[in-house]
Amino acid sequence: MNAAIVCVGRLKEKYFSGAAEEYTKRLSRYGRFEIVEVPDLPEPVHASDADRRQVMEKEGESILAKLKPNDYVAAMCIDGPQFTSEAFAEKLDANDQRGARLVFVIGGSLGLSPAVVKRADEKLSLSKMTFPHQLARVLLLEQIYRGCKINAGEKYHK
């Protein structure tokens, strides 16, 4: 597998960073995997809609700068389709057959800019519920790891 997560912001809490490090280490046995962080821009106090759009656009420009032309990009969006772990594993396997780097993109607290969503080859959702982007990263890492185990024919917890 050749995959990455491009995400806005750093993991500040030790429990999130510890979990992310553990899953990243586990994923290393299945191929090349990396996490690329771009700066989380502060939302101005009493921000207008225009201020929020500007923050999202700047974060989006940083995300787009980390993507390669041949990357297959999956934007993590609450309105994207949801999959079972088995179906998600099939998507991972299909991308391996494609040969492109699979890049999952997680936006900041304001979401993803329209330019990033437009660049994406597909949208995916972890849940209809809203999660902090730090927790979303850990959940996504766990599902990628689970998908790799499924594809390798290894036992996983149901």
Q: What is the pLDDT of residues 71-110, one digit of tens each?
A: 999 999 999 999 999 999 999 999 989 889 999 999 998 9
CATH of the domain at 146: 3.40.1280.10
Could you give the 3-state DSSP secondary structure of residue 99?
coil
Q: How far apart are CA 66 and CA 58, in angstroms?
A: 13
What does the pLDDT look like over 106-145, one tens digit per residue?
Answer: 999 899 999 999 999 999 999 999 888 899 999 999 999 9
158 within a domain of the structure (yes/no): no
**Could you tell me if residue 156 is inside a domain?**
no
| 101, part of any domain | yes
Q: Average pLDDT of 153-158?
A: 80
Tell the burial category of 6 from Cβ atoms under 10 Å away from its Cβ (0-12, 13-18, 19+): buried
First to last CA, the chain: 23
> What percent of the chain is helix, strand and coil (3-state, nearest 5)?
45, 20, 35
How many domains, the chain? Answer: 1
- Strands, sheet with 122-124, edge to edge from the N-terminal-most edge strand: 32-38, 2-8, 102-106, 72-76, 122-124
The answer to the question of residue 88 being in a domain is yes
Q: Is 121 exposed, middle or buried (0-12, 13-18, 19+ CB in 10 A)?
A: middle
* Domain of residue 94, residue span: 2-42+50-151
CB 77, CB 125: distance < 8 Å: yes
Q: How confident is the model at residue 158 (pLDDT cuts 50, 70, 90)?
A: low
Q: Does residue 157 lie within any of the structural domains?
A: no
